[in-house]
Structure 1
Amino acid sequence: MLENSLYSDMPAGHTEAVSQSIFAFLESLIISGELKPGERINEKQLATAKGTSRGPIREACRRLQEAGLVEFIPNRGFFVRVVDLSDVLEIYYIRAALFAQAGRILARNVTQAQIEELQQLQDDMEAAIEANDADRFYDLNRTFHARIMEFTGNRHLADIYNNLDRELHIWRKRALILDGNVRASSADHVQIIAELRSGNPTRLARILRDHSLAGRNRLLRTMPDSVQGVDNIWDDD
């Protein structure tokens, strides 16, 4: 159970600002592991420490639910989601396959305007790295990937990807930020954009697939006890 002191330093403000502050605060506790999988969000304790009603607390929890970080159990409240590591690794393989297919489509159909939008996102990510703003980098990174899927023009592909992304959110952010791999991820983006410009379907599919699997490998490095017995089934095509 979280202590009251953990809630005491959040700034006061209007309802929307309070909700955003609580969302960011709880997200950081979940990502860092201070709020553990299966632990209940104590709305009453939060509201008391903040000096606010439960409205902003519940709005923050709903946003966390949309982000895939918590789940709501009727008559019990919001709980940090429990996601099995083996399920996460399986999702990474599915995600990699989606990226590979997106690469095959985009190599033939991507427009110059779409490439330039991705380039701008990459430039913004580089700026976030220089500013040591890992949270902004992560948000831009998610947008970069989502736009790649959207640019395929295949709504079902994009919807499946977005659903999987919510499942992976807590794991991806923890691995990317806590393991300090933002520069490696950014370097991959440079390669992706270069291949989009060249238009080679095979190379783009492989680079996008490998970029996704690199995220899986980052996750495993943050959990060394989980590496044993995990097969890398996609070493080669």
Structure 2
Amino acid sequence: MPASQVIPHPTIALLRTESLSTAAQQEIERMILAGEIAPGAKLTEAWLSERLGISRGPIREAFRMLEEAGLVRQEKNRGVFVRDIPLDEAVEIYDLRAVMDELIGRRLATSITPEQLKKVRATVDRMEATARTGDVDGYHLLNLQFHDALVEFAGNRKLAAIYRKLVKELALFRRRNLNDRGVLPHSVAEHRQILKAIASGDAEAAGRAMYEHAIESKERMLKGAATGSAPARARAGRKG
């Protein structure tokens, strides 16, 4: 039988499909978090199949994984849509995240290594440089990297899994919250304070800095909604 006609073993075929599904899920997630696909946008198998150069089967599986991650919703007879997080849900996520951030800060103050601290400091340096240019999208991605590194270095896999899911859901709302370039310098200062507290080895100070950063971010979000932010008002009355 010619090589081109060889039928792969079912296990190999399954692994290929799972690998493609994971790759598709990661790329679609990247596009969503980077703002290339907006909250509320409809995702179609045909468009993504052409965009990613793969068949529709892995795309369907990727949709399932993205729904589990809280980034998309599937509506019967309508299709798949990027979730648009409502204001009340964003508030709940911030409150839960604040408690988790406090735990992360406390753990890191007594366990972070010099090499890990160096990596986090380098990320904050890039955040500051990006803030000076007013690059909101670039800053948003670096901010995600900063917090992801901290939860990774905290060394609790269950905590990391739950935290990352919440952060990704919140990113659907929060990247718009950072669209005001005037917020960026203040955000950089908060991250510098977090870094300083963790480096000091003071668990209470590090936990407090992390907690206050999350709460202040929530307050900025609520202030934006109260002062007439159109995106925030629109989401306040919608369920994701």
Q: TM-score under structure 2 normalisation?
A: 0.68
Closer/same/farther in 2, CA of residues 189 and 23 from structure 1, 3 Å limit: closer
Q: Match for residue 174 of structure 1?
A: 176
Deviation of the 1:100 alpha carbon = 0.4
Verify: 1:126 aligned to 2:128, yes or no: yes
> Residue type of the partner of 1:185?
S
Q: Match for residue 104 of structure 1?
A: 106
For structure 2, the residue ranges without an aligned partner over 5 or more in a row are 1-23, 234-240
Q: Is the 8 A contact 1:106 1:152 kept in 2?
A: yes
Verify: 1:27 aligned to 2:35, yes or no: yes
Q: Match for residue 138 of structure 1?
A: 140
Q: Match for residue 221 of structure 2?
A: 219
Q: Match for residue 11 of structure 1?
A: none
For 2:33 and 2:123, the matched residues in 1 are separated by 26
Verify: 1:70 aligned to 2:72, yes or no: yes
Deviation of the 1:202 alpha carbon = 0.7
For 2:34 and 2:120, the matched residues in 1 are separated by 30
**Which has the higher relative contact order, 1 or 2, with Cα contacts under 8 A spaced 6 or more apart?**
2
Deviation of the 1:74 alpha carbon = 5.3
Q: Match for residue 81 of structure 2?
A: 79
Q: Match for residue 165 of structure 2?
A: 163
For structure 1, the residue ranges without an aligned partner over 5 or more in a row are 1-15, 228-237
Deviation of the 1:108 alpha carbon = 0.8
Q: Is the 8 A contact 1:179 1:222 kept in 2?
A: no
For 1:188 and 1:177, the matched residues in 2 are separated by 17
For 1:26 and 1:120, the matched residues in 2 are separated by 21
Report which stretch shifted further, 173-182 or 71-80. 71-80
Deviation of the 1:65 alpha carbon = 6.0
Report Cα offsets for 1:131-183 as digits up to 9, x if no partner: 32211111010010011111111111111100111221111111122464111
Q: Is the 8 A contact 1:69 1:169 kept in 2?
A: no
> Residue type of the partner of 2:112?
V
For 1:92 and 1:64, the matched residues in 2 are separated by 21
Aligned-CA RMSD value: 3.4
Deviation of the 1:26 alpha carbon = 9.4
> Residue type of the partner of 1:27?
G
Q: Is the 8 A contact 1:100 1:208 kept in 2?
A: yes
For 2:191 and 2:224, the matched residues in 1 are separated by 22
Q: Which has the larger radius of gyration?
A: 2
For 1:159 and 1:117, the matched residues in 2 are separated by 21
For 1:213 and 1:103, the matched residues in 2 are separated by 14
Closer/same/farther in 2, CA of residues 126 and 26 from structure 1, 3 Å limit: closer
Q: TM-score under structure 1 normalisation?
A: 0.69
For 1:26 and 1:141, the matched residues in 2 are separated by 12
- Aligned pairs, number: 196
